[in-house]
Amino acid sequence: MADQDQKGKWLSSKEVIKNLKITDCELMHRRERGELKFEKRGRAYFYYFEIKDE
């Protein structure tokens, strides 16, 4: 429930690839380098992105 307090959103791999305009391979490399906050649910990965108010 802590994520509810922050302004952010969990996105599927497909959504992240589309939004960041990267390949699935690049997504995997970024995940392995620790550049993305992620969670594995079953066989799928979900990525957390904070929404910044500017």
Taking only the tens place, the pLDDT of each residue in 25-38 is 999 999 999 999 99
What pLDDT shows up at residue 54? 57
Average pLDDT of the segment spanning 13-24? 96
Joined together, the tokens standing for residue 29 give: 């490399």
Output the CA angle 14-16-17, nearest 5 degrees: 65
Going by C-alpha positions, the residue among 15, 10, 18, 16 that lies closest to residue 40 is 10
Average pLDDT of the segment spanning 34-50? 96
Going by C-alpha positions, the residue among 6, 5, 11 that lies closest to residue 41 is 11
What is the average pLDDT value for the chain, to the nearest integer?
Answer: 88
What pLDDT shows up at residue 26? 98
pTM of the model: 0.77
Would you tell me the crossing angle of helices 24-32 and 13-20 to the nearest 10 degrees?
Answer: 100
* pLDDT confidence bin for 53, thresholds 50/70/90: low
